[in-house]
Structures are given as C-alpha cells and as structure tokens.
Chains A and B, each alone.
Chain A
Amino acid sequence: MHLQPDQHSKVLKILQKYPPFREKLHEYLKIIEKYPPSREHMLDMLHDIQDYEPKHYLPREALMAVAEYLDLPLAEVASTVSFYSMFSLEPRGKHIIRVCISPPCQALGGSTILVALKDALNINVGDVTSDGIFTLETTSCLGVCGVAPAMMIDNDVYGNLTEEKIQRIIEEIRRRDAAH
C-alpha cells in the first residue's frame, strides 16, 4: 500500500519531520490513518499498533506516530500508554501468559501455579523467555473463578490448572509453534 500524497498531506508532513524514523513511522501511520485524527481513537490506534508489532509492544516510534497524528505532546500519549496495563513499552514474547492472582485463584493454589510457570519457563514475572516465545505476567480476576486457578495465554483461557497441566500446555504451544 502506498500513500497518496494529496490524500495524506498530514501523514506526509509527519514523515518529513522525522527523517531518521521515516520507515517505522510510515508503517504505523498506515495502520492508524483509518481513524480520524481525534483523541477518542487513541486507544484503538495504540491497540492496533501493539497487535501489529510481532513483539506485542509499543516502540517509541509508535508513540511518536500517534502523538503527531493527534497533535498531542508525546508525554500525553506516553501517560495514556503507561496507565493501562495491557500496553507494554518493552518488547514482549510471541505469547503472553497472564496468571490470575486474585483471591479465588489464590485460595485454590494460584501461587503454586505461578511458581510452576516460573520454573517451567525459567523466567520471572514480567520477563521474556530467552527464545522470545513467552512473556509471563500477572493479572487481576479473569472472571472464570468457577475453574480456578486460571490463566490466560493470548486470548485463550485455561482453567483447573495443575503443575502437570501447565507443563502440557506449554509443551503443546511450543510444538504448535515449531510446526508452523
């Protein structure tokens, strides 16, 4: 897809402004230009960019693209991004594991699950595995207390977890990835 100069004078102006980041900005602007340049679309834009990024994070250029597109200071976009825990400013793995640490899951052994995951992946909460496949995060209630303890990997929920089950799930995802 190429930008038409007359249609996207605003986008082109932004591209001219930051020559060193031109390529990266160009990619992001292509994603966000379907939204009108008004503030209420900021979250949508940021989500789209984060989903597009293979490492599921928002690089500085993404914030710059959104800030320039909306005519906001970079600091304001940064404060929005840092407010929401679903956005990340650090590169993350291909799959994001979110373990519930709310009381119902805790009561049924949630912390054991977290320890098991840490051991299985050999990382701490917030880190990425060395192969870049998994990021381990914690989350508040996922709303599936009936199958506690629970966790979420990307968009799928896994319940009634045990240590063996976790091993199985991780292995399966690894296998599936390798097959692709």
Chain B
Amino acid sequence: MPKVVIDGIEIEVPPGTTILNAAQRVGVEIPVFCYHPYLKPAGICRMCLVEVEGMPRLLPACITEVQDGWEIYTNSDRVKDAREWLLEFVLVNHPLECPICDEAGECELQNFVFKFGEPRKRLYDEPFKYPTRYLGPLIVHQMNRCVLCRRCVRFSDEAMGGTDWGVYERGYRTIVGPYERDVFAQKYTFNMEALCPVGAITSNIYRYKTRIWKLDFTNSVCAHCEVGCWLDLGERDGQLLKVLHRRGYPSPWICDKGGYGFEYVNHSERITVPLRREGNRLRGVTTDEALEFVAGRLKGLVESGGKVAALVSPHLTCEDYLLMGSFMKEVVGSDYLDYRLYGGNTYPERPAVDSLEGVEKAEAYLVVGEDLSVHHPVLALSVAKGCKEGRASLYLIVTGDSFLFKFAAEHANPLPGKEEKVLEALASVLGGKDYASLLEGTEVSEDTLKAMAQGLQEKKPLIIGGSRLTPEGRVLLKGVGERLGITPLFLDWGSNSKGAFQMGFWSPGGESVEDILNKCVSGEIKGLFVSSMDLFRDYPNGTLVKEALSNLDFLVVHDMFFTETVAYSDCYLPATSFAEDGGTVVNMFWEAKKRNRAFKPKDESMPLWQVALGLSRKWGRPLGDFGTVEDVTPLVRERLSQVVEAPSTLGGVKAAHLKGDIPALFEYPFYRAGMRTDFCNAFVQLVPEPYVTLNPEYGDELGFKNGDIVIMEVDGNQFRMKLFFRDEVPRGGAIVSRGFSDFPITRALKGLWYRGIELRAAKE
C-alpha cells in the first residue's frame, strides 16, 4: 500500500487512489470543477493542480494516482499561484452577474474565487457573449457563465447513454448545449442542472424566485414513485421553491418528477377550505362543520343499512392508511377499502434484492411489463448502468419502452396486450416446450425469444416484473424465476403501495377497485370516501367511475384541487401535499423511510390521518389521542414488522378488449406520470395534450404523417388528438397517452390499459 504525505499528514491508501481521494481522506480541500464522485474522472478543468515533491510540473489531483513515498503540497506558493491564474482566466469571459444569477450562494466558482482567487483582473477585453437559451420549461442555459467542466455532457453520456447534448467547437470558442432541440427535457434533466457547478444550467422553475440562503431545507422522501429518493425541500414563506438531492441516496441521480414535480404544492388553484354541497353549489364551511356533516351522513347511511367504501391514493403515508383503515374498519364497519386506484388487481410482494446497489450488481436483467423509465425512473438508470459498462445484459419484454431499449441485448416489443403471451412463450422455451403458437400475433420473432432464453440461462438475471402485469402474469414470471432460481422483484404503482398493503388498507374479501365501483353502481355501496386522487384521470375506466359516482348517495373527496371527481362530491375536504406533513413511507425494497414536515399545512388543509381522527371523534368513537404524526408512527412501525398475507386475486382480470383496427396501450407520458403532475405547470407545458404514437413504418402504411391530427374512435366515442411517430412503438400497434385530468381519455378504457382503437385522419 502506497504511503504518501499530504500537506504534512501521512496516510496509507490502497493502490490506484488518486491524489484527490487521498486528500479527501485526510480532510485536505482541493478545489475541483470537473471532478464529480459519481462521474468518471476527466481531468479537464485544471482547478485541482497540486505540487508533488520532485515533479517538474504541477499535477492534476483528480486523475493522478499516488505513488509510494510522494510528498504532496496542496497549499504551496506554486499551487496558490496556479489557482489564482486559472480563476483569473476563467473570469476573463465570465459575466460576473452574480447579483442576478440563481446559482449565487451555491456556486462553486463563486466559492473558489472567494477562497483561492485574487481580487484582480488584468485583461480588459470584450468578453465573449452568447445568447441565453431557454430550453423549454425546465432549464435555462447560459453559455456565458459556463466553466467548461463538461459535467453535464458526461452525465448525459455516462448515465443516460447519450442524448442531444454535447460540446461543440474547441478552445475558448467551445459551446455546450443541445444540437437540434429547442426544448430539452429528457427525464433526468434535473441532474444536469444539479451537476453544473456554476449558473450555466439553471432551473426555469426556480428562476428569479428567491436566493438559496433564504430557503429553509427539510429532509423528505419523494412522493412520485416507490423508489423513494431522499429530497431536501427548500421552503420560504410557506412556498416550496426548490428541491435538492443532497444525500445522493438511494442513487446519486434523481428524475425530473422528483426534481421539478413539486409545483402543485404552491399552485394558485389549490382549494384550502372545506366545501359542502348545497343544491348545485359547493359552499365554503369550517372544518368542524364539514367533519360533523360527513360523520353524520356516513353514520346515517350505515344505520340505514347502506355500505360505505374508501378509495385512497397510493401516494400517501402509512400513518394515513393506518388511521383511515382503522376508522373504516372499526368505526364505520366497512369491508371495502382500497388504494390501487391506478387499476390492476395485484398486491405487493417481498422482493429478491434489498437496495439499488443490489440491482446494479446483477449480471443480467429481465424486465417485463413496464416502461421502467416512466414509473420507476431511477431504477431504470441503475439497470442501464451495468448494461452501459458492458457488465450486464438486458432482456426486455416491454411494449413501447422509451429509454432502456437502447441498452437491451434482446428487446421483445410485443403488440399491446401481448406481453404476457410472450412471457408464457419464454417460460415454454425455458421448459423445452413448444412455443411457436404462443408467439402468433405478438410481432415478436422466435429468434429473439431463443436468444433471450439462452442469455438468461447463461448469467444469473435479476427479474423485474412491472406494474402492468396481471396476477396471472406474475405467476408466469415467478415460474420463469423458479426455473432460473430467482425471486422476481415486483413493482407497483404509487409511492407507498407497499405501506398501504402492510397497513391493511385493502378489502379483506379481496375485492378490487373495479368490484367496489361495481357495487356503487348496483347500489350496495351508498357512501364513498375518495382521497388525493382524481378517479377520472387515473382509474382506467372513466365510464364506470362516472356511473358509480353518480349513483352514490354520499361522496366525500379529500383532495387539493377541484378535479372532476370533486365535481360529483357532496363534501370536499382540503388535503395537504407531501411537504406539509410528515409520515412513514415504504419504498420498493420494503424499506421504511421518514418524511418530514417542511412547513405547516396551508389554511384548513389536513392530512388524511387527521381527517380520519376528526371523523372518528365526530362519530363518537375516537380512535385515540394523537397530536402529531409522530404519535402515530410507533403504531406504524409495529404494523410494518408484521407479516401480512395477501388474498389470491387470480382469475379476477377479464381479457382486454382489443377489438378494433389497432391494439393500443394507454400509457402515461413521463411528465404526466406520478402524483398530481397535471398541476405542475412546467410538466403541463411539456405535455399539454394527449397524443397517439405509431411506429413510423406502420404510420406510413396507414397513410399518416408525423404530426397529423387524427380521430381515435373507441366504442363510437371519438377523441381528436395529435399523432406522432416514435420508434419504440411496436409495428401494428399504437400507444396512446393518458394522465390528463382535463381530457376524458379514460372513458376509452374498460379496466385494463389495453384497448382496440380505430384511427382516421381528421377532416379539416
């Protein structure tokens, strides 16, 4: 082991350690621009030059590996001089607009000049001036401020496998940015902004809002998906203004939903007072009055023999599920409660791996039934990492994957609704049975499947079952896993499905959301409590939702916005956002994490657990004496350690309705997936309206052009929208976007996210 002396401190480090890492170990600061712990070292910026005894020139610390006996000085006159010169050179073309720059306060250039620079400027020349580029609603790029560290380019290259972002020209004329796009939003754009050491890439959402030192940061967990990234929520005056990802856990990277998808918290359309229906109007009332009214009506319904059900979003905390569950089961005496409002009839299962590092270690991956980059974006980056480095091979059985297909060794891209047929065929190949007939009408070739089976047998894969899988699909995938000796990792929709399941927030009889809605239609259920979800936007059967809600005697909606579901309600209770209340959430690896409260709830907003508590008090059978969410947490912790058995749901899913010209998959676009993304202004600007996508070849065949306006017809209902060509769509199928609260696209669906559609050109 080489022994080195850094600024007089002796340290022994493993061979291959760079000077910079050795210095970090002894706590000596070396300034860096281009170095980043999670990117490959590049040695571009020369900020980290240090002196080594006996070497004629200064050495870059970030790429030089230490040798035994080296005496390193990071603070000698030569080094200081080099830093001063370098900073002076960087500042020659720097606009010095710190007073209006959003990065000021967290800018590395600012810090370094302050610490290591010399307050002088000797070259007075006209600096280079580049125009500011507003690259869509997420980021702004200002080349004038760039220090050419290329962290953004390296991120795009190393983590994302290359995007439309590069460096052009060379020397002092170098320009960084997108080559052909005017709007840059690539699912992981936030990381590029976060990596930028200066204000060259800044957030458009945060632009000119506040200064970083005026923000109060609270640690929390992202509420969009069950990867559950740690976030630091920056609050000022009861507004959530900035999100940071300082802990770099569970992954060093996060997605744009985590980084930018918080605007709904401060949305101006938020309704923060309870409303009560009076004829055709909803009138503002006090919380007390509203709770009294709801409890009284529910009690009345139950006493007259009617049933009451609760449908709650899978994005809330365990505390919410626990108390609401207790209220429904013990006080109201209802057997109908569910959190699976995205549709589907599966319950969470224990996974085979326990962390993202575990995922990254795998030698091969089999992903079935989900576009990971949409619903679990950070997991997709972890899967891509090994494949990009050539350590692992990736096998996909996914319709219309939009990110991972670039890394796939074999990509079976079946027609919508045929993923499980292909999975069945794969199981047959592995079992040595005949499979050719299973592949009929899936658009997947036998060669692909054979290669896939061979690859899976050679290396031990990690099997990931996506949220689109039905209970039958999960059984098939478990069968494949058994044959290979692996337990699959099953994913669910929502950020806390696992927690909701563990808290027992499901019907003991195993009824699905569809069953509950059918019971509303038949009149068995007379009262319904909906929390934090617009059923019309997310439940894949708009017609059934409409019928069920109009048939109810009493509907309570606990939400933040006036959604279509609220329009049917008899009482509206204002909900808090994830930033306004703490709680426990369970991530995809069954790890319990604590969300903290960043600021106090706006006006009368209440988290669900408080609503349940308030209702139980008004009912006359209080659930207990809980003051804050921390009082409920011990109960949650206790429940989390228990083993919960899920009821079998096999045979509950009816076949998809695929009649019609083209089988279509209804899938969320990335910027529309997750919680309340249709109230995030930036995301709404990125995906303003629904669209249909077709494979270019197939589109050509049908006589359409990219960008045409088409009419999609389902069951005689006509939807007018735009048509785009995308390579990832399987030939012969279509992918239709969903997740729009102001566009009734779920009316086209019948409980599953597959549907046969007809397309024709719209007459102008």
Interface, chain A (partner B; CB < 8 A): 16-17, 19, 72-76, 78-79, 82-83
> Which chain B residues (306-340) contact chain A, with CB distance < 8 Å?
none
Asked whether B696 lies within 8 Å of A74 as measured between CB atoms, the reply is no
Q: B111 contacts the other chain (Cβ, under 8 Å)?
A: no
What are the 7 tightest A-B residue pairs by CB atom distance, in nearest-first order? A75-B166, A75-B179, A79-B166, A73-B162, A82-B168, A78-B179, A75-B164
In this assembly, does B697 line the interface, its C-beta being within 8 Å of a C-beta of chain A? yes
Kindly name the residue among A17, A78, A82 whose own CB sees the greatest number of chain B CB atoms within 10 A: A82
| Among candidates B167, B169, B170, B696, residue contacting A19 with C-beta atoms closer than 8 Å | B696
When distances are taken between beta carbons in the complex, the residues of chain A under 8 Å from B163 are: 73, 75
Task: Say yes or no: B162 contacts A72, CB within 8 Å.
Answer: yes
**Known A74-B179, A74-B180, A75-B178: A82·B169 in contact at CB below 8 Å:** yes
Nearest CB of chain A from residue B389's CB, rounded to whole Å: 16
Chain B 266-284 per-residue mask, 1 if CB under 8 angstroms from chain A, else 0: 0000000000000000000
Residue in B162, B168, B696 whose beta carbon sits within 8 Å of that of A78 in the complex: B168
Cα-based distance from A16 to B701 in the complex (angstroms): 12
**Binary interface encoding of chain B residues 51-93 relative to chain A, with 1 for a CB under 8 A from any of its CBs, else 0:** 0000000000000000000000000000000000000000000
* Shortest CB distance A18–B (Å): 8
Q: B482 on the interface (CB 8 Å rule)?
A: no
Counting CB contacts under 8 A, is B631 at the interface?
A: no
Say whether, besides A17-B727, A83-B170, A75 and B697 are in contact (CB < 8 Å): no
Given A75-B178, A78-B179, answer yes or no on A83-B164 (Cβ-Cβ < 8 Å).
no
26 A-B pairs within 8 Å (CB atoms) are namely A16-B696, A16-B697, A17-B696, A19-B696, A19-B700, A72-B162, A73-B162, A73-B166, A74-B164, A74-B179, A74-B180, A75-B162, A75-B163, A75-B164, A75-B166, A75-B178, A75-B179, A75-B180, A76-B157, A76-B162, A78-B166, A78-B168, A78-B179, A82-B168, A82-B169, A83-B168
Complex Cα–Cα for A73 and B179 (A): 10
Is B168 in contact with A79, judged by CB distance below 8 angstroms? yes
A83 to B174, CA, bound (A): 9
User: A73 and B164: CB pair below 8 A?
Assistant: yes
Q: Is the CB of B167 within 8 A of A79?
A: yes
Closest B residue, CB atoms, query A82: B168
Give the distance in Å from the alpha carbon of A16 to the alpha carbon of B696 in the complex: 8
For A76, the closest partner residue in chain B by CB is B166
Q: Which residue of A lies closest to B167 (CB)?
A: A79
- Residue among A16, A17, A76, A78 with the highest chain B CB neighbour number at 10 A: A76
A16 to B165, CA, bound (A): 25
CA distance A83 to B150 in the complex (A): 15
Task: Tell me which residues across on chain A come within 8 A of B167, comparing CB atoms.
Answer: 79
Contacting A at CB under 8 A, from B167-225, are: 167-170, 178-180
Which residue on A lies nearest to B181, using beta carbons?
Answer: A75
Q: Which residues of B contact A (CB under 8 A)?
A: 157, 162-170, 178-180, 696-697, 700, 727
- CB-defined contacts of A73 to chain B, threshold 8 Å: 162-164, 166
Cα A75 to Cα B700 with chains together (Å) = 27
Distance, CA A143 to CA B167, complexed state (A): 30
Given contacts A75-B178, A78-B179, 4 further A-B contacts (CB under 8 A): A19-B696, A75-B164, A75-B180, A79-B168
Chain A residue contacts of B168, Cβ below 8 A: 78-79, 82-83
Q: Which of B164, B165, B168, B696 has the most CB of A within 10 A?
A: B168
Q: What is the distance, in angstroms, from B729's C-beta to the closest C-beta of chain A?
A: 13
Residues of chain A within 8 A of B165, CB atoms compared: 75
Cβ-closest chain B residue relative to A16: B697
Residues of B within 8 A of A19 (CB): 696, 700
- B177 and chain A: residue at smallest CB distance: A75
**Interface SS, A side:** helix
> Whole-angstrom distance from the CB of A83 to the nearest CB of chain B?
5
Bound Cα distance from A73 to B166, whole angstroms: 9
Q: Which residues of B contact A76 (CB under 8 A)?
A: 157, 162, 166
Residues of B within 8 Å of A17, CB to CB, are 696, 727
Docked CA distance A19–B699 (Å): 12
Q: Give chain B residues whose Cβ lies under 8 Å from the Cβ of A82.
A: 168-170
Give chain B nearest CB distance to A89 CB in angstroms.
10
How far does the alpha carbon of A180 sit from the alpha carbon of B668 in the complex, in Å? 62
Q: How far is the CA of A79 from the CA of B167 in the complex (A)?
A: 6
Q: Which residue of B lies closest to A83 (CB)?
A: B170
Q: Which residue of B lies closest to A74 (CB)?
A: B179
Q: Looking at the assembled complex, report how far the CB atom of B443 sits from the nearest CB atom of chain A, in whole angstroms.
A: 16
Question: A residues within 8 A CB of B700?
Answer: 19
A178 to chain B, nearest CB (A): 37
- Give, as a whole number of angstroms, the nearest-CB distance from B570 to chain A: 54
Cα-based distance from A75 to B696 in the complex (angstroms): 22
Closest chain A residue to B171, Cβ basis: A83
Q: How far is the CA of A14 from the CA of B166 in the complex (A)?
A: 22
Q: How far is the CA of A19 from the CA of B161 in the complex (A)?
A: 26
Separation in Å of the B300 CB from the closest CB of chain A?
63
Q: Which residues of A contact B180 (CB under 8 A)?
A: 74-75
Residue of B nearest to A64 (CB): B180
Q: B179: which A residues are within 8 A, CB to CB?
A: 74-75, 78-79
Minimum CB–CB distance from B384 to chain A (whole Å) comes to 15
A74→B166 CA distance, assembly (Å):
9
Shortest distance from the beta carbon of A84 to any chain B beta carbon, whole Å: 9
Min CB distance A73 to B, Å, is 4
Residues of A with C-beta under 8 A to B169: 82-83
Q: Which residues of A contact B157 (CB under 8 A)?
A: 76
Closest to B700 in A: A19
Contacts of A79 in B (CB 8 A): 166-168, 179
A83 to B697, CA, bound (A): 35
Alpha-carbon gap, A72 to B166, bound state (A)? 12
B173 to chain A, nearest CB (A): 9
Chain A's nearest CB lies how many Å from the CB of B430? 28
CA distance A76 to B163 in the complex (A): 8
Max count, chain B CB within 10 A of own CB: residue among A17, A74, A75, A78: A75
Nearest B residue (CB) for A79: B166
CB distance from A117 to the nearest CB of B (A): 24
Closest B-chain residue to A80, C-beta based? B166
A78 contact set on B, CB distance < 8 A:
166, 168, 179
B170 — nearest CB in chain A belongs to which residue? Answer: A83
| A170, chain B: closest CB distance, angstroms | 30
Chain A contacts for B162, CB-based, 8 A: 72-73, 75-76
Q: How far does the alpha carbon of A74 sit from the alpha carbon of B168 in the complex, in Å? A: 12
Instruction: Determine the distance from Cα of A74 to Cα of B163 in the docked complex, in whole angstroms.
Output: 8
Question: How far, in Å, is B139 (CB) from chain A's closest CB?
Answer: 16
CA distance A72 to B696 in the complex (A): 20
Q: Give Cα A143 to B654, complex, Å.
A: 79
Question: How many angstroms from the CA of A137 to the CA of B170 in the assembled complex?
Answer: 17
Nearest B-chain residue to A85, judged by Cβ = B170
Residues of chain A within 8 A (CB-CB) of B696 are 16-17, 19
Determine how close the nearest CB of chain A comes to the CB of B92; give it in whole angstroms.
Answer: 22
Among A17, A19, A72, A79, chain B packs the most CB atoms within 10 A around the CB of A79
A82 to B169, CA, bound (A): 5
Shortest C-beta distance, B307 to chain A (Å), equals: 56
Least CB distance from A64 to B in Å reads 10
Give the shortest distance, in Å, between A20 (CB) and chain B (any CB): 10
Residues of A within 8 A of B727 (CB): 17
A16 to B731, CA, bound (A): 13
Residue of B whose beta carbon sits closest to that of A20: B706
How many angstroms from the CA of A16 to the CA of B178 in the assembled complex? 25
A60 and chain B: residue at smallest CB distance: B180
Smallest distance from the beta carbon of B156 to chain A beta carbons, Å?
8
- Measured between beta carbons, the chain B residues less than 8 angstroms from A83 are 168-170
When distances are taken between beta carbons in the complex, the residues of chain B under 8 Å from A74 are 164, 179-180
- Determine the residue in chain B with the shortest Cβ distance to A18: B696
Minimum CB–CB distance from B252 to chain A (whole Å) comes to: 22
* Nearest-neighbor residue (CB-CB) of B705 within chain A: A19
- A83 vs B175: C-alpha distance when bound (angstroms): 11
A15: shortest Cβ distance to chain B, in Å?
A: 11
Measured between C-beta atoms, what is the minimum distance from B48 to chain A in Å?
24
CA distance A62 to B165 in the complex (A): 19
Nearest CB to that of B727 among chain A residues?
A17
Complex alpha-carbon distance, A82 and B176, angstroms: 12
Q: Which residues of A contact B164 (CB under 8 A)?
A: 73-75
